[in-house]
Amino acid sequence: MKLNRIKPVLAEKGISQTWLAKKLGKSFSMVNAYACNRSQPNLDTLQQIAEILQVDLKELITDKEER
């Protein structure tokens, strides 16, 4: 079950998980766990990711069809 869309949004923007990890100040392993839906970021972290990727928070949690 996919709980977030971090990986597809990164792919759409051509941004690596390594780059996002550096911007967040988190390990690659943690960001990879978020992107692969093995772990979920807290709301503050999800908001930070949205700001870094310059997307609406909704884009990270729902498909366009669900909005």
At residue 3 the predicted structure's pLDDT band, cuts being 50, 70 and 90, is: confident
**Contacts for 8 with CB less than 8 Å, ≥ 6 apart:** none
Judge if pTM exceeds 0.85. yes
Domains and CATH numbers, the chain: 6-56 (1.10.260.40)
Quote the pLDDT of residue 62: 80
Q: Which of 62, 49, 3, 60 is CA-nearest to residue 22?
A: 49
At residue 2 the predicted structure's pLDDT band, cuts being 50, 70 and 90, is: confident
pLDDT per residue over 47-59, tens digit each?
A: 999 999 999 999 9
pLDDT per residue over 30-44, tens digit each?
A: 999 999 999 999 999
What b/e sequence results for 34-66 when a residue is b if at least 16 CB atoms lie within 10 Å of its CB, and e otherwise?
bbeeeeebeeeebebbbeebeeeeebbbeeeee
CA of 16: how far to CAs of 1, 23, 49, in Å? Answer: 22, 11, 13
